[in-house]
Structure 1
Amino acid sequence: MTDVLLILGLLAGGWVFSRIVLKEPILPWKDKKVKSNTVNKKGTKASDAKKMSKAQIEKEALLEQESTPFQEMFPNVIGVQDHMLRYSDNEFTMFAEVEPVNYFLRDPEEQEVIDIAFETWLASINYPVRIYLQNRFVDLTEPIEEITNQIEAAEDLNSAAYEFALNMIEDLEQWQKSQPRYETKRYILFDYKVEVKDLRLDNEDDLEERILEKAFNELTRRVQAARQQLRRGEMEVSLLTNDGITEVIYYAFNRRKAIKNRYRDLERQEKLAIYSTADQSPERIVRTKAEIDKFTQTEKQASRNSDEA
Structure 2
Amino acid sequence: MIGLLSFALAVLASPFKSKLRLEAENAVLRHQLIVLRRRVRGRAQPTNNDRWFLVQMYRWFPSILKLATIVEPETLVRWHRAGFRCYWRWKSRPQGGRPQIDTELRALIRQMSTENQLWGAPRIHGELLNLGFEVAQSSVAKYMVKRRGPPSQGWRTFLHNHAPDTAAMDLLVVPTIGFDLLYAFVIVRLGRRELIWINVTAHPTAEWVARQITEAFPWNEAPRYMIRDRHRIYGAVVRRRLRAMGIRDKPFAPASPWQNGFAERLIGSIRRECLDHIIVLGEAHLRRLLKSYARYYNETRTHLALDKDAPLSRTVKRAGRILCRPVLGGLHHEYIRI
Q: Shorter chain as normaliser: what TM range?
A: under 0.3
Structure with more relative contact order (C-alpha pairs < 8 Å, separation 6 or more): 1
Report the TM-score when normalising by structure 2: 0.24
Which one has the largest radius of gyration? 2
Report the TM-score when normalising by structure 1: 0.26
Higher helix fraction (1 or 2): 1
